[in-house]
A and B are shown apart, each in its own frame.
Chain A
Amino acid sequence: MSLEDDEILIDELGNTARKVMEEVITQDLYFDPENINSWCQQIMDHCLKEFGKLAKPFKYIVTCFIMQRNGAGFQCASTCFWDTKTDGIISVTGDFPNLNCLVTIYAVHV
């Protein structure tokens, strides 16, 4: 797989993740400990299904972080030991009135 294919791939992944996130988490959702797990699972399942359909020689890791908005701050950092030419990362944040959502996708070339 060439570098160009990988670059297109990363943007595609990001757009898919954003679409899925906005489908699952609507503007009026409040943090709900009973459903939070299923929201996370839905986002990740949809994302991985769409990525699998692309049929590219990549392994995908999706992490989903959903937090109740009450003024608390948070930071996220990632470091990777991989081949910078073929592997990539993209993270997508969603700003909803009552929730903070962060979806990070790592695409690792096989």
Chain B
Amino acid sequence: MAVPAEYGMSSAHRMEPRDDEKFYPSAVKKIVNDILTEKLTGVSYEDKFAQSLALEISNLVKIKCKSLKMPRYKIIVQTFIGENLNQGLRVASKSLWNPKFDNYASCSFMSGNLFAVVIVFGSYYE
């Protein structure tokens, strides 16, 4: 389900995004939350479907994020879906970027025998 980017962004004269064109984690988190509850409520973990489910969720989140007003942002969505057998786990991330304009939003979901973690990174392209 990959759509190659045939267009690229060329450098702009703007050095920073306008206030209403920034990556706002709260808005993104709300989107991710809605998608996770819609897609995963009542679903139980099955190996056969987990991979396509993870890809589907990633794609949906990316498409919805593109509809937010963030024209010069590169968006990365990472989804983890796993079986809940009371194991311990940790998801962490660290970045080397410009903290003034780049940001991330993360959301987790747990129900029954399934857990999901989605992280969305937004990186400003000058």
Contacts and interface: CB of A to CB of B under 8 A. Distances in A.
A13 to B, nearest CB: 12
How many chain B residues sit at the interface, stated as a range, is 35 or more
Contact of B87 (A45, A68, A81, A83): A68
Contacts of B92: 37, 40-41, 44, 63-65
A104 B102 CA distance: 18
Contacts of A33: 88
B97 A61 contact: yes
B90 interface: yes
Nearest to A32: B88
B121 interface: yes
Given A36-B88, A63-B91, A76-B78, A84 B5 contact: yes
Nearest to A59: B97
Interface in A56-110: 59-85, 87, 104, 106, 108, 110
Contacts of B45: 73
Given A40-B92, A73-B47, A82 B76 contact: yes
Interface of A: 31, 33, 36-37, 40-41, 44-45, 47-48, 51-52, 59-85, 87, 104, 106, 108, 110
Given A61-B93, A71-B85, A75-B80, 16 more contacts: A31-B88, A37-B90, A44-B94, A48-B94, A48-B96, A60-B95, A61-B96, A64-B91, A73-B83, A75-B82, A76-B79, A76-B81, A77-B57, A80-B77, A108-B74, A110-B126
Nearest 8 CB-CB pairings of A with B: A74-B82, A77-B54, A44-B94, A67-B89, A40-B92, A79-B58, A72-B83, A63-B93
Interface of B: 4-5, 8-9, 45, 47, 50-51, 53-55, 57-59, 61-62, 65-66, 74-98, 102, 119, 121, 123, 125-126
